[in-house]
């Protein structure tokens, strides 16, 4: 027995299959909770207004003799601050932002006795982080930003 399809029926079947295929992707992208769609920042517009101040802090940090360095060690992540400052006078925050999942974001205050700051391996999950270090010393505020693959 031969099954025969006329060309108008074939076109209608092909278009119907294509439409169902596209609608299944729209459904998965919109309604499946595994795909969490969110902005990187909840206060996107407020952050945008402060962007020039951020650029000024980055430029001020670029004029330093020595830059901050991030080194992966056995215990975790070692952050070395510039030696030109008195380490005990440095105050600020270190922010780790995970672009893929905001549940892994965290922020730490900076309190130093030496120029080194160690973040233990327990706090970090393997993946990409946007590291933002903002510190103040002698009424000057500096900013360091880097993408880190941990």
Encoding tokens for residue 87?
């380490």
pLDDT, tens only, 44-74? 777 777 888 889 899 998 888 888 999 999 8
Q: Does domain 44-149 have CATH number 1.20.1250.20?
A: no
pLDDT of residue 89: 87
pLDDT of residue 115: 86
Put simply, whether the predicted model's pTM sits higher than 0.85 gets the answer: no
- In the chain, what are the domain boundaries? 44-149
């Amino acid at each position: 027995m031969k099954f025969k399809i006329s060309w108008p029926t074939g076109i209608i079947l092909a278009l119907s299959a294509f439409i169902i295929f596209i609608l299944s992707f729209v459904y998965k992208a919109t309604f499946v909770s595994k795909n969490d769609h969110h902005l990187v920042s909840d206060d996107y517009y407020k952050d945008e207004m402060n962007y020039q101040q951020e650029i000024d802090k980055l430029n001020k940090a670029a004029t330093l003799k020595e830059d901050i360095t991030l080194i992966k060690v056995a215990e975790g992540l070692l952050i070395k601050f510039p030696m030109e400052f008195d380490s005990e006078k440095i105050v600020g925050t270190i922010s780790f932002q995970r672009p893929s999942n905001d549940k892994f974001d965290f922020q730490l205050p900076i309190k130093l006795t030496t120029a080194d700051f160690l973040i233990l391996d327990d706090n970090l999950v393997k993946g990409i982080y946007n590291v933002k270090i903002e510190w103040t010393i002698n009424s000057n505020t500096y900013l360091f930003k880097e993408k880190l693959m941990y």
